[in-house]
Amino acid sequence: QDILSQTLYGAGAPGAGVGGTNPAQVGLGSRLAAITTNFSQGALQRTGRSTDFAIQGDAFFVVQSGGQQLYTRAGAFSVDGNGNLVNQDGGLIQGWQADPSGAVTVNGPISSLVIPVGGLLAPNPTSSITLGGNLPAAGALGTVIATSVDVYDNQGAAIRLNVTFTKTAANEWTGTASYGTPATAVALTNNVLTFDGSGELLTPAGRQVDIAAGAIPNVGAVAVGLGAAADPGRVSQYGSSSTLATLDQDGYSAGSLQGFSVSREGLLVGTYSNGLTRAVGQLALANFNNPEGLEKVGGSNFRASQNSGLAQVGVPGSGGRGQLVVGAVEMSNVDLAAEFTNLILAQRGFQANSRVITSSDEILQEIVNLKR
């Protein structure tokens, strides 16, 4: 843009029968008008690394570095010796850490994300078991149907529990249980199952058989559910063969974190050695009303300025924020071929302009020589 303009004459207002005239101004000097950062989407390159993330859409990763909060689109991350998720410069990636139960609260303040590789998941003693399937209506008196399941005590040790149902009368089955070798009997409450003529369970009314606390060593009270009345897998008594089985139990042994995966919404899910998965954290993204107003601080990092607006931090895929692409990084949005072409055009244009001055000088020289 021009530094200043010399006004030869100003604008003239239109009048009766006379049109208006535009101002005549000559630009004097030039200077750089502005530099605008281009935040358009770059192409994505697959890396296959589980700690590489690209943002498909608008937003920035939040990084804590040198006591200040920075923002970046560069998603080549790794895990340091303390389990922190960091970028290539050691900046701490921000998000929300999950609590021990795996719950993530995204309404609170963000903090550095830690992935406790090798960290232990405490054991959970069994408190409920769910049975399902069919007891054969045509079974003779004394027919025994058995199923077994591993239950877990307070220290996470597995104990094999055997549950059997014996037909003791028409439409009636009595349940018993035992554990260990040799078998040790386990007292059951509400253990008599009765069925109506259509094969549906009548009693126990609560549709569960109870094991008292301490009946199995170091295991609290256990509710053995028989399925809700509308559950397709409920315990029934039809004319078909036996399909009784253990469908579920809520206990598990201790486990250590073996690895993790990340969803498109930025949820970090850990995989434990006991076969369980649990959320360990949630990546945060930030967007701005005016991203071009961010200040560069080097290393592909930016910080907020007075004209960028406040960082609007939230979950990927919400509030106008882009989604994550895992195992990929975003490449530069600069087309080198186009930039080199533009550079050559600018060079040729400068050369052509310089020839105009030379040509004008030669013409003036010829005019001078005409007088001679």
**pLDDT band, residue 35 (cuts 50/70/90):** confident
- Distance in angstroms (rounded) separating the CA atoms of residues 306 and 295: 10
- Distance in angstroms (rounded) separating the CA atoms of residues 232 and 238: 13
As a three-state string, the secondary structure of 282-316 is: EECEEECCCHHHCEEEECCEEECCCCCCCCEEECC
Lowest mean pLDDT among 59-63, 81-85, 200-204, 335-339: 335-339
Cβ–Cβ < 8 Å for 282, 106: yes
Question: What value does the CA radius of gyration of the chain take, rounded to a whole number of Å?
Answer: 38
Task: Answer whether residue 354 shows pLDDT above 80.
Answer: no
> Cα–chain-centroid distance for residue 217?
41
**Backbone φ and ψ of 91, nearest 5°:** -70, 145
pLDDT for residue 15: 87
- Distance in angstroms (rounded) separating the CA atoms of residues 72 and 91: 11
pLDDT for residue 162: 96
pLDDT for residue 236: 95
pLDDT for residue 237: 95
Mean pLDDT across the chain: 92
pLDDT for residue 369: 84
Instruction: Note the pTM of the prediction, 2 decimals.
Output: 0.76
Task: Answer whether residue 144 shows pLDDT above 80.
Answer: yes
Mean pLDDT confidence for 135-160:
95
- Distance in angstroms (rounded) separating the CA atoms of residues 266 and 302: 21
- Taking the CA atoms of residue 132, residue 137, residue 142 and residue 143 in that order, the dihedral angle to the nearest 10 degrees is -50
- Distance in angstroms (rounded) separating the CA atoms of residues 179 and 217: 10
> Cα–chain-centroid distance for residue 302?
23
More confident residue, 73 or 354: 73
pLDDT for residue 1: 87
Task: Answer whether residue 346 shows pLDDT above 80.
Answer: yes
- Distance in angstroms (rounded) separating the CA atoms of residues 91 and 283: 14
Task: Answer whether residue 32 shows pLDDT above 90.
Answer: no
pLDDT for residue 45: 94
Task: Answer whether residue 212 shows pLDDT above 90.
Answer: yes
pLDDT for residue 159: 96
pLDDT for residue 281: 95
Task: Answer whether residue 372 shows pLDDT above 80.
Answer: no
Mean pLDDT confidence for 335-360:
85
pLDDT for residue 178: 96
| CA separation, residue 248 to residues 97, 150, 161, 187, 211 (Å) | 29, 10, 13, 21, 16
Give the residue from 347, 371, 322 showing the smallest Cα distance to 40.
Answer: 322
Pairing of β 60-65 and β 285-287: antiparallel
